[in-house]
């Protein structure tokens, strides 16, 4: 006997795969805008080195970037709001949100386990602690991006919001740092998906996952591999 388990609900799969190109377009158009005043750096490392702009043809496209950014922001925000509303109404949030501070310790153990520095991963539900923290953080980041974005977009009309981010320049910096955060999230996320394998990736498309274990908890073996 084999067990097929429904892992990802159809709505969540649509939200996820709709968000992917939207976030990509927001980041891409954001970099087209950022090019016009690319001041951020960490020590000698500039965001971004000039070859990035020339290779990707990012230069002199400020108007292009702004138009795309202020068109696709609507779809990005609507999809995000629907996703959050859905997880709240469906109760999915209970599996996604870390329930106690011990999640941070568990997430650390998960990371050590993934790096083969520790034997057994901690006991988990549908998502492990590292996933819970990542998937909750990414939503908080999304809200931060929308709010800091609004603070830069309308610093007169929403002056109070701009103030909350430490002013116009502060809001721009927050907006940028969050973008770098998405790029880092994306790197780790894709790596983990590759490591977790086809069965896991397929479940994000079709919803169902094959479990070799019969009976009781079904997916435990798979779940350990799946951090995304």
Q: Least distance (Å) from another protein to the CB of residue 28?
A: 11
The number of residues that bind another protein (CB under 8 A) is 44
Rounded to a whole number of angstroms, the CA Rg of the chain reads 20
Q: Using alpha carbons, select from 104, 116, 93 the residue that is nearest to residue 224.
A: 116
Q: Using alpha carbons, select from 75, 76, 35 the residue that is nearest to residue 56.
A: 35
Q: Least distance (Å) from another protein to the CB of residue 176?
A: 10
State which of residues 99, 105, 169, 220 lies at the interface with another protein (CB under 8 A): 169
Q: Does 217 bind another protein (CB under 8 A)?
A: no
Q: Does 202 bind another protein (CB under 8 A)?
A: yes
Alpha-carbon distance 161 to 62, whole Å?
A: 24
Cis before 48? omega within 30: yes
Alpha-carbon distance 222 to 158, whole Å?
A: 47
6: its two tokens: 């429904």
Q: Least distance (Å) from another protein to the CB of residue 19?
A: 12
Q: Does 122 bind another protein (CB under 8 A)?
A: no
Question: CB of 129 within 8 A of CB of 107?
Answer: yes
Please give the residues from 95 up to 114 whose contact with another protein meets the rule CB under 8 A.
none
> Which residues bind to another protein, rule: CB under 8 A?
1-6, 10, 17, 21, 25, 33-34, 36-37, 39, 62-64, 66-68, 70-71, 74, 153-157, 159, 162-163, 167-169, 172, 202, 205-208, 210, 214, 218
């Amino acid at each position: 006997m084999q067990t097929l388990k429904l892992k990802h609900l159809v709505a969540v799969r649509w939200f996820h795969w709709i968000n992917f190109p939207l976030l990509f377009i927001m980041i891409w158009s954001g970099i087209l805008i950022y090019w016009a005043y690319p001041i951020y750096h960490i020590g000698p490392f500039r965001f971004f080195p000039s070859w990035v702009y020339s290779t990707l043809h990012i230069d002199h496209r400020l108007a292009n970037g702004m138009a795309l950014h202020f068109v696709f922001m609507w779809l990005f925000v609507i999809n995000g709001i629907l996703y959050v509303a859905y997880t709240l109404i469906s109760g999915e949030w209970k599996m996604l949100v870390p329930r106690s501070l011990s999640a941070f310790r568990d997430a650390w153990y998960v990371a050590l386990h993934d790096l083969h520095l520790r034997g057994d991963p901690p006991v988990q539900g549908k998502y492990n602690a590292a996933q819970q923290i990542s998937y909750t953080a990414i939503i908080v980041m999304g809200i931060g991006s929308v709010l800091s974005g609004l603070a830069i977009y309308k610093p007169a009309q929403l002056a109070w919001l701009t103030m909350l981010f430490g002013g116009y320049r502060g809001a721009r910096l927050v907006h940028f740092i969050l973008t770098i955060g998405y790029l880092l999230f994306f790197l780790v996320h894709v790596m983990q998906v590759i490591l977790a394998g086809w069965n896991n990736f397929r479940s994000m498309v079709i919803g169902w996952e094959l479990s070799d274990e019969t009976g009781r908890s079904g997916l435990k073996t798979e779940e350990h591999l799946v951090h995304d």
